[in-house]
Amino acid sequence: MDLDRDTVTRQLVDDLSYSNRDVFDTDVIEAAVTGAWDLLAPPSTISTYLPILVARQAREQLMATAQAEGRIAKKVPELLFVCVQNAGRSQMAAALAEHLSARRVHVRSAGSAPTGEIHPVVVEVLRERGIALGTAYPKPLTDSVVRAADVIITMGCGDSCPYFPGKRYEDWEVADPAGQSIEVVREIRDDIQARVTALLRSVLH
């Protein structure tokens, strides 16, 4: 069944306005929902899940904007993992950081040129570690998510990541899992896990 965009958008804006009524005006919330829909609708293959994904993307974008502008206080350190497509390395790093930190950090990932879906082999090697990506999807890199982060980890995105003074930046030379065998991607996963573990030790000292 086709979704009525206007009806779904109104409902999502109403829901998000209730939870963000003291932080943002309705027009800002509506812009976040519209932007999330424009981002996620073209590659979406199962429209039933589209409202869930749009709501989550809009909520994350609003939270990042609120943190970046100092509208809400950060409760834990914010980590941002960035690669080109947000379909492999940055997704693995974010999932591993969330898994290993026991929610003592908040994690985001993004891509300088995000693709439509996460590499299936990445999903598989994370599942081997008991980590389910679930409804994860490639997301674009925005100024607000960079400004909200305390630590920005880049992996192969070159100069496309915005620079803001006062942030901690690290560039990890990690192999790209795209087109690789599962054995190679397991090695990449283990490399990223070792790096994430060291990062968490330094952030949560």
> Residue 43 pLDDT more than 70?
no
In this predicted structure, the answer to whether residue 44 has a pLDDT above a threshold of 70 is no
Question: Whole-model pTM?
Answer: 0.82
pLDDT, tens digit, for every residue of 11-30? 899 998 888 878 889 999 99
Residue 50: its pLDDT value, please?
Answer: 82
The tens digit of pLDDT for each residue in 115-148 reads 878 999 999 999 999 999 877 888 888 888 999 9
Contact 37, 53 (CB under 8 A): no
Dihedral angle sign, alpha carbons of residues 62, 67, 72, 74 = positive
Give first-to-last CA distance, the chain, whole Å.
51
Tens of pLDDT along 165-187?
889 999 999 999 999 999 999 99
Distance CA 202, CA 198 (A): 6
| The pLDDT of residue 1 | 46
Mean pLDDT of the chain: 89
Domains of the chain: residue spans and CATH? 5-68 (1.10.8), 78-203 (3.40.50.2300)
Nearest to 96 by CA among 163, 189, 21, 198: 189
